[in-house]
Amino acid sequence: MRYDRVYNFSAGPAMMPESVLEEIAAEVLNYHGSGMSVMEMSHRSPVFQEILSQAEADLRTLMHIPDNYKVLFVQGGGTVQFAMVPMNLMKNGVACYVETGAWSKKAIAEAKRYGEVKIVASSADKNFSYLPDCSALDIPGNADYVYICENETINGTAYHTLPDTKGKVLVADQSSLFLSRPCDVSKYGLIWAGVQKNVGPAGMAIVIIREDLIREDLPEFVPTYLRYKTHADADSLYNTPNCWSIYCCGKVFQYLLANGGLEAMAQRNEEKAAVLYDFLDRSKFFTAAVLKEDRSLMNVPFVSPSKEQDAEVAASAKAAGFDNLKGHKSVGGLRASIYNAMPKEGVEALVDFLKKYEAEHT
Ligand code: PLP
């Protein structure tokens, strides 16, 4: 790696494409002859307006977002969306959630503040190591929406087929697989993603919402900033937005467009993940944590024979230039997050390291 960089397997904030960082570095002091950095620029200036509208246009192109969906750049990261979704979409006060791990549990806990939450499927019985069958969910007629975490960053599961929501609005937290594969936006009512995994700097979420779900008749208690309508009406400029994050995300959208779009990303990500999973499935020392058919291509949790060995693997890996392999503190073990920006060579080098480690410790 150039610039003394390491292979960074962090779950987020995560690696960004090197060429994007180089472009940003070249523009950091003087953006396109404006004489200032994007960090120093008024969000109402024509220069920034152009950055914002180009970012939105590029995202629309990348994801083929239909015209009847709004794209919103909202501050507060993913956690704010746990609250905004129920506050804005619970009209009847009933919502269905699929419980698949740490992040859907957080969403469930937050939704319970605003209404009745029906858990229509769960994989809690086996420590969230698989995805429950979502082909015949028992969804009440008055449910406002069905919510999934499409990729559980900590537990390492990802949907490869969307649930049958019986015509109800599908809401998905796509944070950790956003832009990693093509997505048919028309199948969802609302998609949201915290950007710090596959896109840009933390502190912002991108929300893609079907226009008819943007309500005016919300309860008085819903704060102005937490209404999707506020952001939709103001084209994401209701207040000072996270200009820097929008700018960096825009750079990544351009990088993705120039590198084959989401189809190419999906192919690369499948090849990359296969390198790691094939090794884990053959290894007698390391074990992948998730059932084969439900595995995430982005977050790969695995374990060695003991907690002590897990810690030792993570420490020796770090010393060898493979950083952030320690599993999330709530589940332990090891985890390699291999988002779009992780090159295949990084995964191959990690596998070589793990193979060597295994040979030396068995
Ligand atoms: N949803 C998922 C799937 C996540 O992985 C995360 C964070 O890692 C969040 C939500 C919360 O995002 P934030 O930390 O931006 O609040």
User: Which ligand 1 atom is at minimum distance from the Cα of 12?
Assistant: 8
239 is in an annotated binding site: yes
Amino acid at 254: Q
Ligand 1 centroid to 197 CA: how many Å?
9
- pLDDT value, residue 297: 98
- pLDDT value, residue 238: 98
CB-neighbour burial class of residue 257 (10 A; exposed 0-12, middle 13-18, buried 19+): middle
Pocket test for ligand 1, best of 99, 106, 171, 176 (most atoms within 8 A of CB): 176
- Work out the angle at residue 106's Cα, subtended by the Cα atoms of residues 104 and 109, and round it to the nearest 5 degrees: 110
Q: Could you give the CA distance from residue 120 to residue 139 in angstroms, rounded to a whole number?
A: 7
> Of 191, 131, 128, 160, nearest to 328 (Cα)?
128
- pLDDT value, residue 29: 98
Atom 8 of ligand 1, nearest CA residue: 12
Active site residues: 103, 173, 197
Pocket test for ligand 1, best of 174, 175, 192 (most atoms within 8 A of CB): 175
Which residues have CB under 6 Å of ligand 1? Answer: 12, 77-79, 103, 149, 153, 173, 175-176, 194, 202
Ligand 1 centroid to 331 CA: how many Å?
16
- pLDDT value, residue 1: 78
103 is in an annotated binding site: yes
Map out the domains of the chain with their CATH numbers.
21-258 (3.40.640.10), 261-360 (3.90.1150.10)
- pLDDT value, residue 248: 98
- pLDDT value, residue 155: 97
Pocket test for ligand 1, best of 10, 80, 103, 148 (most atoms within 8 A of CB): 103
- pLDDT value, residue 219: 94
Is the bond preceding 305 in cis, omega lying within 30 degrees of 0? no
Profile the chain (362 residues) by mean pLDDT over runs of 10 residues. 93 97 98 97 97 98 98 97 98 98 98 98 98 96 98 98 97 98 98 97 98 96 97 98 98 98 98 98 97 98 96 97 94 97 97 98 92
List all residues 6 or more positions away from 325 whose beta carbon is below 8 Å from its beta carbon: 9, 313, 314, 317, 318, 334, 335, 336
What pTM did the predictor assign? Answer: 0.98
Ligand 1 centroid to 29 CA: how many Å?
31
153 is in an annotated binding site: yes
Instruction: Please answer whether residues 338 and 298 qualify as being in contact, where contact means their C-beta atoms are separated by less than 8 angstroms.
Output: yes
The widest CA-to-CA distance across the chain, in whole angstroms, is 64
List all residues 6 or more positions away from 27 whose beta carbon is below 8 Å from its beta carbon: 37, 38
Ligand 1 centroid to 26 CA: how many Å?
30
- pLDDT value, residue 142: 97
